[in-house]
Structure 1
């Protein structure tokens, strides 16, 4: 995943929380803190975890697919546009071609849209032109994912900090017109090579000198590249249909091709290269805005302030001894933990060597402490003992899911009922269905051999 994608998802998560309220991010914050790093890194890691959990990562893939399909559709449109411009300019060869009408047909729309882009760049700031906005609209529609709608507002917000929106959309706009003008130029060459065209100019109120000066001025730059320019006699002779135009055909054809290349294709090529350079340069400087209120609140959760060590209050008469969250050795290969067991059971059972006992989780603090430890030192195998006499409520199932994500392999041990007591079959079936939905392996047999050896 590119850096722009990671920042984009981070911004999408921020906007989602601002509009819909804070997300359930306790596990995301814990996973982010476990990796360490500065605050931007922690915020980004947290956002990516939430994006993966809530489907935004998949939505981003769909949006990219839609963007590619939208670009292909616009590219096809550009090919047909360029080809159509060449046909409209030269016609079928049955009548002489008015050179300035042909030039207007080939360059007029291109130059008007280029002028609009430049005005938008100057006045509006982040202008991508109509084609740029059309591409963004097509990308969202072709993604066919409702979650992709959350990504659409995040991208402009991210890019506007470095004023990159104009360059990204500008790259697309100039790329489309570059393709259109390239197709127009190729079709122009093909038509000139396979058909016989005569070239004329006509006027009612202008004199010969106006067309003479305009033709030579437009042909000055193409002439530097080796393209032909009609001389004064050929230009005057083309002003009448009765004149002998055979000597001027090739000069007019070379002039027309050179003018389209220099004033139609090359400006788009240079502007596309400029936009690409500015995009790559600004992309390296992209970063999240830590001054956003939501990020300032995250600082307290991802980088909690340090507390002064030492005795602050007198010790109570009797200290509370928690029954969960026992300190585990770093890198313990196998861990056994129980969830909400009553005092009628003897716990823990005799454990093989190398299997760590994480105690019984029965309060929030114990759960948080154990999850922090497992996040920092994930075990290879984790067995979770549950009492199937209790109902599999959502809180317990959420805890099982969090614990399972902290280990390479996880099994749930559904304990047998105490002697003289029978399990409720309906409740046991509910446990089986819930664990199957979570994708967790479960059994009523003690997984001690699996914990010790990795197999049964």
Structure 2
């Protein structure tokens, strides 16, 4: 089963999350991605790299990384549950087939019980593989369904479809699900074989064959035909006399017991366990080979539309996407360790506020942001050259509206450390305490430190 998601996603996880973001936008509409696009352009690279950078940024912001980790945990639990079911099923088949040893075992009834369901499902897998393109079968779909249910994360709803969409690019879904199906049957047949050996080693069984409409010649021929391959591996095969003698219910031939036991074990191994092992290895080989060749499908309409936004032929202004219902926590400075410099910027100050204040030589003045073009230029610059410390000055006489808080959040993510400076009102003007409390609550929800005193010492030295 898949391992927990690493801090730096591997190529398959990157494609998986990128496709999950695409499906989410396809069903719920475009996401607020202005900052994601800007971060992707700063990372640079070819269009597939830009699309992945954008998607991973959105996935981190919107919690898809956590959802993928939960989905993997659910997939693990589902895999363990199915493996336990396979173990119990295999052991149950062997116990039901041989019984308690009081009555003789009908060898061909026992063979049908041990191999019948396995061979029927194998035939169904082959037919689905060849004609329907569905190699997962019921077990594969059951595993995906259980994985989603056990994840218990509403954000994981697009992960299973996204995985199948990515794998369908090179028809890898059939190999991955086929690996799971054959692996589970391999566990079941191994459990049956081990239980069979344990019962044969600790109990005394007699073996017979019974028929009403067939002659003994049919049983002799079938027994010898099935024993050809096991005999090559050293398993015993009853001779003609032992086979004929076993057809007499009243005649328990002692010498035939070990021959029938060896024949039964060999047939289960060769025709039950070995095909599943070989097919599981084939699926594993094709899965590993195809996984290394996975790429983004740039012909999808959603990715074609992203080309102009991530590799614009010219920069132009336009209407931004609708604001989200809830602001995202900034996680300020998480990727900016080692940057240098200090910057002071103000947001929408009126003429009554004297600006700029006297600044130390090591602190840069980014001016006052009043319109969208100024914001865009500054965000692009700070994203390319992130400062070590950033102070954001705000006028607390204004309401902390959603647009201002979103801008503060974007600015804070461009610096290793950020603070908000709530300016004092001009002399003779009182400050509304309720509005100031609203500012404090809003900034606390963003996780940003704030104060009403000038942070000049902090900007210059890094500490108060």
Shorter-chain TM range is over 0.9
Determine the structure 2 residue equivalent to 1:384. 392
User: Which of 357, 381, 386 is matched with 2:365 structurally?
Assistant: 357
Determine the structure 2 residue equivalent to 1:86. 94
| Structure 1 residue 344: Cα displacement | 2.3
TM-score of the two chains, using structure 2 as the length reference: 0.92
Rounded Cα–Cα distance in structure 2 between residues aligned with 1:344 and 1:126:
71
| Structure 1 residue 196: Cα displacement | 0.2
User: Which of 201, 210, 226 is matched with 1:218 structurally?
Assistant: 226
Rounded Cα–Cα distance in structure 2 between residues aligned with 1:360 and 1:270:
69
Q: Is the 8 A contact 2:420 2:451 kept in 1?
A: yes
Pairs within 5 Å for 1:44-443: 44-305=52-313, 332-443=340-451
Rounded Cα–Cα distance in structure 2 between residues aligned with 1:360 and 1:250:
93
**Does the residue aligned with 1:413 lie in a helix, a strand or coil?**
strand
Rounded Cα–Cα distance in structure 2 between residues aligned with 1:126 and 1:59:
27
Determine the structure 2 residue equivalent to 1:322. none
Determine the structure 2 residue equivalent to 1:315. none
| Structure 1 residue 19: Cα displacement | 2.1
Rounded Cα–Cα distance in structure 1 between residues aligned with 2:66 and 2:158:
12
The count of aligned residue pairs is 434
Q: Is the 8 A contact 2:77 2:147 kept in 1?
A: yes
**Does the residue aligned with 2:255 lie in a helix, a strand or coil?**
helix
Q: Is the 8 A contact 2:206 2:252 kept in 1?
A: no
Rounded Cα–Cα distance in structure 1 between residues aligned with 2:195 and 2:235:
18
Bigger shift: residues 32-41 or 239-248: 239-248
Rounded Cα–Cα distance in structure 2 between residues aligned with 1:339 and 1:251:
90
Rounded Cα–Cα distance in structure 2 between residues aligned with 1:356 and 1:277:
57
Deviation readout 1:178-224 (Å, 9 max, x if unpaired) = 00000000000000000000001111121121111111110100111
| Structure 1 residue 242: Cα displacement | 2.7
Rounded Cα–Cα distance in structure 2 between residues aligned with 1:121 and 1:231:
39
Deviation readout 1:364-421 (Å, 9 max, x if unpaired) = 0110111111111111111000111111000000000001111111000001111111
Rounded Cα–Cα distance in structure 1 between residues aligned with 2:255 and 2:437:
95
Rounded Cα–Cα distance in structure 2 between residues aligned with 1:177 and 1:331:
55
Deviation readout 1:139-164 (Å, 9 max, x if unpaired) = 11111111111223222221111101
Rounded Cα–Cα distance in structure 2 between residues aligned with 1:354 and 1:401:
24
* 1:332–1:362 CA distance, 2 compared to 1 (3 A): farther
Bigger shift: residues 407-416 or 238-247: 238-247
Rounded Cα–Cα distance in structure 1 between residues aligned with 2:306 and 2:249:
79
Q: Is the 8 A contact 1:86 1:185 kept in 2?
A: yes
> RMSD of the TM alignment (CA)?
1.2
Q: Is the 8 A contact 1:126 1:163 kept in 2?
A: no
TM-score of the two chains, using structure 1 as the length reference: 0.93
| Structure 1 residue 346: Cα displacement | 2.3
Q: Is the 8 A contact 2:41 2:310 kept in 1?
A: yes
Unaligned runs of 5+ in 2: 1-8, 316-337
Rounded Cα–Cα distance in structure 2 between residues aligned with 1:454 and 1:165:
53
**Which contiguous aligned blocks of 4+ residues in structure 1 show a shift greater than 3 angstroms?**
none
**Does the residue aligned with 2:194 lie in a helix, a strand or coil?**
helix
Rounded Cα–Cα distance in structure 1 between residues aligned with 2:264 and 2:135:
31
| Structure 1 residue 126: Cα displacement | 3.0
Q: Is the 8 A contact 1:218 1:259 kept in 2?
A: yes
**Does the residue aligned with 1:287 lie in a helix, a strand or coil?**
coil
Q: Is the 8 A contact 2:339 2:416 kept in 1?
A: no
Deviation readout 1:302-361 (Å, 9 max, x if unpaired) = 001159xxxxxxxxxxxxxxxxxxxxxx96511111111112222211111211111111
Rounded Cα–Cα distance in structure 2 between residues aligned with 1:371 and 1:417:
27
